[in-house]
Amino acid sequence: MIGVHRERFNRQFSSERYSAFVADLERRCGAPIDFRLSETPCFVPASLMGRLVTVAQELIGQLLDQPAYRMAADAVVPEAFRLASGEPQPTFMQVDFGLVTTPDGVEGRLVELQAFPSLYGFQMLLGEMSRDRYGFPELTPYLGGLDREAYVRVIGQTIVGAHDPAEVVLLEIEPERQKTRTDFAVTEQLWGVRAIDLSDVVQRGRRLFARRGNQVTPIARIYNRVIPDELVRRGLSLPFDARSDLDVEWAGGPDWYFRISKFSMPWLRHPWVPRTIYLDKVTSPPADRDAWILKPLFSFAGGGIVFGPTEAEIAAIPAAARRDYILQERISFAPLVDTPHGPTQVELRIMMIRDGDGYRAVLPLARMGRGRMMGVDHNKGLTWVGATAALIDPTA
pLDDT digits 0-9 by tens, 300-315: 655 688 888 888 888 8
What CA–CA distances, in Å, run from 13 to 6, 18, 41, 140? 11, 8, 12, 20
pLDDT at 213: 81
Q: Would you tell me how many other CB atoms lie within 10 Å of the CB of residue 67?
A: 7
C-alpha span between 93 and 57 (Å, rounded): 10
Summarize the confidence of residues 23-30 as an average pLDDT. 96
pLDDT at 302: 58
Strand partners, 41: none
List the strands of the sheet with 201-204, edge to edge.
Answer: 201-204, 207-212, 215-219
128-161 per-position pLDDT tens digit: 999 999 999 999 999 999 999 999 999 999 999 9
Q: What confidence category does residue 191 fall into, taking pLDDT thresholds of 50, 70 and 90?
A: very high
pLDDT at 113: 95
Tell which residue, 53, 65, 125, has the closest CA to residue 93: 53
**Structure-derived torsion over alpha carbons of residues 257, 259, 262, 265, reported in degrees to the nearest 10:** -150
Q: 0.85 exceeded by the pTM? A: yes
The helix (run of H) or strand (run of E) holding residue 188 is helix 181-191
311-364 per-position pLDDT tens digit: 888 888 998 889 999 999 999 899 999 999 999 999 999 999 999 989 999 999
